[in-house]
Amino acid sequence: MLGPGMQSENPSPHAPAGTPTDAGGPSAALVVGLLALLSAFLVGSALSFWPYTVDDAFISLRYAQNLVEHGELAWNLGERVEGISNPLWTVWSAVGLVAGAPIVLWLKGSGLLAGAAMVPLTYLLARRVGGSASVGLGAAAIVATNASLALWAIAGLETASFGLLLVLFVLRFEKELSVRLRDPSAAILPLSAVLFFLCWASRPEAPAYGLYIVVRRFLAKDRPALGRADLMWFLVAAVPIAAYEVFGLAYFGGLLPATHTAKLGGGSSFFGGNFEKFLGTRFLFGQGPLFAGLWVTGIIGAFIGLRRLPPAAWAMSVAGLVFIAYAFTDWMPRYRFFVPPLPFLAISCAIGVERIARLISRGQRYAVPAAMAGLIALGAYDQGTRGYDKQHNIKLAVEPRGAWPGRVVETAGLPWEPGRQELDAWMILQEAPRDEAIACPDIGFIGALARNPIWDIRGLVTPQAAAFLPIPDSSPEFGAKRTAMLDDMFAQNPAFILVPSRPQGMAPVAKRFVAALRGDPRTAARYQEIPNMLPMRSVWRRLDLRKPAPEQTADRIDEAVAQFPSYGTELSKTRGRPGG
């Protein structure tokens, strides 16, 4: 399906609409073999990251735990705060818990399968919307060699599954339109409407991808006439979406999750020296000049051949980039927000590279695929050996990877590591009774493993904190918001207050919170600051807190570890029952 004024590179009256024929192109067997190799490359790349499990995965898991065990979609029982931005993934986590699956493996394995599926589906989508075999294989290769997708496929979050659903949605939507173009009277199930709802329930930015629907149905030249099928599609999508939004409004009291305020309330801009912090800038120029060269070439070529760029590529890419510009930055490594729109960006990039190669090669048969393969290989090498996001200090996730293919077996066999948050959780297990509240950021692993009530310094599940942190110091509301936040925290009477002391992404939040904490007399009256109790943490312990008896601690540890049949880190081997 091509946009206004677009033509297929290899039009044929016998091919389905939007599907070119490639005279002299690679055989089907060769294409299948190359896609299998690319998928295997992605799986190996992901396995080289295998021990990394992001702390936020355990936020969804705690919501799922409370849903399964108590029938409440809540972080702290009795508090209806939407501290998740991935409801469908949370439900999927609950399914794993009900099924009795090893839940960490369930989440990581699901993401890995989704990421691997994105490779051949990117090829199929590129071909369906009019791309040549070179474009399809090039786009699939860009996806397969992307380290961000590899990391987030196994990190335990919904990132790869959301990307997969977006590709399936567009692929199915294009197929439905193609059938209607061939036979306007044909009856076809609007499965793409169901897939769009699943996208909507996966991430809060999914509505932005509705841009593609508008462009495809109202602006593209190659489109069937509007009719009853479109009304049916709208109803199939709108009814569950409306029910989903009504539930969110009734249950949580709002249409946007609390994470929106906590993450985006700062209102970053491109100006005032912030451009280098922009996620798009870091993605493009923070992964080496060869990586940047691939994408810059693709962008230039896409603009040169703009009228040949299919809506499925450019509209979905624009939708993803609009959200990235809105979010501006992200505290997680490896450019997570670029993963869902990656297949569409890759198709646009591959079309652009092919366009440049055709202009240079002047019809030489092998020059186009050779140029594309060379650019992608160089970009992948640069990204893997020297390009990484220096804004984070999570070594495994961001270190230059070097000769990772030779270390896949070794790395994949290592115990999974949620990072320094595991130290926080073990300290809470050993030092605080289960019913004591804890004030901390990085709430996932503490919440899911220790199960204590949590007051979130970052504000993901604590609206009072989220309301204060973005307020400028010069604002007339600053004093009142700070007082309200601390009143809310002290009302919870937390046993411990943990604040990052050497973070990257949390630095502004930690600095403002510590200043507020130390400026309040209740802190000194109720708490003792304990240096060096935890790495990268400033720790305050409530003065009247009593440490649990050894047998109570042992029972808590056994109960916590039993929740995760696949739990097995290096730390868990050295800690357990006292003296064990």
Euclidean distance between CA atoms 56 and 75, whole angstroms: 13
3-state class (DSSP) for residue 420: coil
- pLDDT reported for residue 572: 61
- pLDDT reported for residue 561: 78
Give the pLDDT band of residue 418 (cuts 50, 70, 90): low
- pLDDT tens sequence across 304-313: 887 789 999 9
- pLDDT reported for residue 502: 65
CB 55 within 8 A of CB 454: no
SS (H, E, C) 186-254: CCCCCHHHHHHHHHHCCCCCHHHHHHHHHHHHHHCCCCCCCCHHHHHHHHHHHHHHHHHHHHHHHHHCC
3-state class (DSSP) for residue 10: coil
3-state class (DSSP) for residue 578: coil
Give the pLDDT band of residue 16 (cuts 50, 70, 90): very low
- pLDDT tens sequence across 22-73: 656 789 999 999 999 999 999 999 999 988 889 899 999 999 999 999 999 9
Q: Considering only residues 574 and 484, tell me which one the structure prediction assigns the higher pLDDT.
A: 484
Euclidean distance between CA atoms 297 and 291, whole angstroms: 10
Give the pLDDT band of residue 568 (cuts 50, 70, 90): low
User: What is the arithmetic mean of pLDDT over 11-26?
Assistant: 49
Q: What is the DSSP letter of 363?
A: T
- pLDDT reported for residue 3: 41
Give the pLDDT band of residue 504 (cuts 50, 70, 90): low
- pLDDT reported for residue 275: 73
Residue 335, C-beta contacts closer than 8 angstroms, at least 6 positions apart: 148, 279, 282, 283, 389
Give bridge partners of residue 541 from the DSSP assignment: 496, 528
Say what the pTM is: 0.91
Express as a percent the part of the chain with pLDDT over 70: 88
Euclidean distance between CA atoms 16 and 435, whole angstroms: 63
- pLDDT reported for residue 86: 95
- pLDDT reported for residue 10: 39
**First CA to last CA across the chain, in angstroms?**
64
pLDDT tops 60 at residue 371 = yes
Query: Among 259, 44, 70, which residue's Cα sits nearest to residue 145?
Result: 44
- pLDDT tens sequence across 140-190: 999 999 999 999 999 999 999 999 999 999 999 999 999 999 998 888 999
Give the pLDDT band of residue 579 (cuts 50, 70, 90): very low
- pLDDT reported for residue 11: 36
User: What is the arithmetic mean of pLDDT over 489-517?
Assistant: 82
